[in-house]
A = this chain, B = another copy of it.
């Protein structure tokens, strides 16, 4: 597998150098691997810190900025960052109002953020945590006890970030993040495996003519492998899985997320089928994002995330956000 890289060992460092060069509104500590919004710490504001393995860009570094994250800590590809990174990020962004750690539910991330919380608290930083576990495909997987955190992370980071920007205190920001997570469900499909720089080739074997339903964002196995399906059939399967679990009784936010290697032309076509499938099930959509947001390197495929919406969340969603990957209102 050919990659646009120098050597596998410097992939994350090179990307951080490139992120710093492209985005003067971020402060990038390349050596310590911490990405911080340039105006942090923001006086009186609760700070949001997230992080996880690299390879899911724009998550999380592309979500740093006004109205979303205050800092992100990228680990090696598909590998948790270390507690020292997270504690360093917390110290860099805490204004005294406390820090919320947004943690995708993978065993390594959860353990390391727990240790980082202890380190930060030892330094006098007040820490709250939310664990994102929106993926309905499997309970327990290669890297997780319980459900995995995938596309729902975007909604937690955006909506809790907006609440923090408005001046909500730590307990309210944490409660809102938990509420958003509890209202999120995702289901993903892979048409191809991804290739990691370290391995140099596909991380698993997915034969021609087959797809994997319920895939994770690291190529972890899903629910089942099937003969290739149409966009409409995939939309029905994904929407069924998500709606059956979430049982929405009102409007939802919709994320039609590319895994990285599927063209935008196909993602928009898939969105048409997802909307049809939601319409047939009586689920109204208030806002839609279509694109590559929570990716798995060059994997072909897509995921569907629904997030329960209400007036408060809709107002927060529409408030100004200014990050490399999401930007409106400012």
Which A residues fall within an 8 A CB radius of B?
2-7, 10-12, 14-19, 21-23, 54-55, 57-58, 62, 77, 191-192, 208-209, 211, 228, 230-232, 234, 256, 260-273, 275, 285, 288-290, 292, 295, 297-298, 300-302, 322, 327-330
Contacts and interface: CB of A to CB of B under 8 A. Distances in A.
A6 B290 contact: no
A253 B270 CA distance: 34
Given A16-B268, A22-B271, 19 more contacts: A2-B192, A3-B266, A4-B234, A4-B302, A5-B269, A14-B272, A14-B273, A15-B268, A17-B272, A19-B268, A21-B275, A21-B285, A21-B288, A54-B265, A57-B265, A261-B298, A262-B298, A265-B297, A328-B330
B2 A272 contact: no
A15 B274 CA distance: 12
Nearest 10 CB-CB pairings of A with B: A14-B269, A18-B271, A18-B268, A18-B272, A17-B272, A57-B264, A15-B268, A22-B288, A2-B191, A4-B266
Contacts of A191: 2-4
Give the dominant DSSP class at A's interface: mixed
Given A62-B264, A270-B4, A300 B298 contact: yes
A23 to B, nearest CB: 8
Nearest to A261: B261
B263 A297 contact: yes
Contacts of A292: 264, 292
Contacts of A298: 261-263, 300
A15 B19 CA distance: 31
B6 A57 contact: no
Contacts of A267: 4, 18
B269 A18 contact: yes
Contacts of A261: 261, 298
Given A260-B263, A262-B298, A4 B192 contact: no
B269 A11 contact: yes
A50 to B, nearest CB: 17
Nearest to A328: B327
A117 to B, nearest CB: 27
A298 B12 CA distance: 23
A14 B329 contact: no
A262 B3 CA distance: 8
A74 to B, nearest CB: 9
A154 to B, nearest CB: 15
A4 B328 contact: no
Given A2-B300, A55-B263, A298-B300, A18 B275 contact: yes
